[in-house]
Structures are given as structure tokens and as C-alpha cells.
Amino acid sequence: MNAPPLSWTPADGSLIVVPDRRKHPCSHCGGPRNVPGQAYCRACHAASMREQRAKARAELAEMRRLLHVHGLVERETEVTEC
């Protein structure tokens, strides 16, 4: 897809060069990027996000386990009397 020509020119007559970011390769696999503004292609971005979510879930599960092991969290089923 070709960009339309500019409707103006700089006062000094110099050329304007606008880089086409889609031509830069994916930082992970080297394939073409299809999402402007991201370093990865769609497949690598999705894989990276899955890894990050899995890591976050594992960290949260570990924190919950530690809190329950040390008795810092009361269970909802326990009844405390005043």
C-alpha cells in the first residue's frame, strides 16, 4: 500500500523520509510485525503475554500459600466468638 504524496514541501526543499515500521522485523523471531508500535509480531506477542500471565498466577498462588501456611489469613469458614 503506497502512501499518498505529501501536500506540502519543507521551506528548504529537503526530502522528508518517514520510516515504515511494518518493515522492521519482530524482535523475537525475526518475522514481519503486523501490529504497529509493538516489538513482537502477533504470535510472539501472544506467547509473551501467556507467559507473563502464567508467571503472575504462579506468584499469586505462592503468596496465598505462604499466607495460609503461616496462619496470617483466617478462613471464611471459621467462626470467631466475641
pLDDT of residue 30: 87
Spans in the chain with pLDDT lower than 50:
none
pLDDT of residue 58: 96
C-alpha cell at 81: 466468638
CA-to-CA distance for 70 and 52, rounded, in angstroms?
A: 27
- Per-residue pLDDT, 80: 64
- Evaluate whether 42 touches 48 at the Cβ level (below 8 Å): no
Indicate whether this model's pTM tops 0.75: no
Degrees to nearest 5, angle at CA 18 with 9 and 6: 30
**Which of 45, 48, 41, 4 has the alpha carbon at shortest distance from 21?**
41
